[in-house]
Copies of this chain bind each other. A is one copy, B any other.
């Protein structure tokens, strides 16, 4: 939660972290977007997550799912599948997570042993078509798809994977971007991925390891200007 909240604050968003089912009805309508992250999932959180997501859908507002370690247990996979059923605007995961979700949602089997990027891409397209969500797969190259169109975001540095919860942070940033442009979720998602990864590139110029990269990434995100962004951004259609 720490890096997620600090990422959102650095980007100009206004985060609040809510766990309790009891405050969903009052609090959720005040949010412009919802990010549901199943990271350290507790059973009591699942109804709160589902209720908040359903309320956002009812209000016509965007919500984004981070299916952390979706394939790691049946409990976790079932929770994620129930959430996918509430029609997230965007689902963002790594290759393994998207493949795990896709192979159940779309009745494909046998992909456990091969999580290469093309496998993940096909899984992402299937999941996007089955769920109606934009699906983003993080990796050396991030891919974003609505099931037909596929966009690749090429920024980032490998050391970002050595910082815990950078994936969670970028999913929350996607929620903030989609809040600002809810009618273009694919573009908003690709933009958020690029902006976060460019902050990582700028941070890497100053970093001596993953902990200083974490600091410089957030500082760079806060200080990012349009010129630096435009000179570095690499988004392509696949």
Residues 1-26 of A, flagged 1 when their CB comes within 8 A of B and 0 if not, give: 11101100110000111111011011
CB of B20 within 8 A of CB of A42, answer yes
Query: Interface-forming stretch among A54-62, A72-80, A87-95, A178-186?
Result: A72-80
Distance to closest chain B CB from A178 (angstroms):
21
**Residues of chain B within 8 A of A85, CB atoms compared:** none
Distance to closest chain B CB from A11 (angstroms):
10
Given A2-B2, A73-B26: A10 and B43 within 8 A (CB)?
A: no
**Residues of chain B within 8 A of A20, CB atoms compared:** 41-43, 75
Which residues of chain A have a CB within 8 Å of any CB of chain B?
1-3, 5-6, 9-10, 15-20, 22-23, 25-27, 30, 39-44, 69, 72-76, 161-165, 207-212, 214-223
- SS class, residues of chain A in contact with chain B: helix
Beta-carbon nearest neighbor of A69 in chain B = B16
CB of A6 within 8 A of CB of B210, answer yes
Beta-carbon nearest neighbor of A28 in chain B = B73
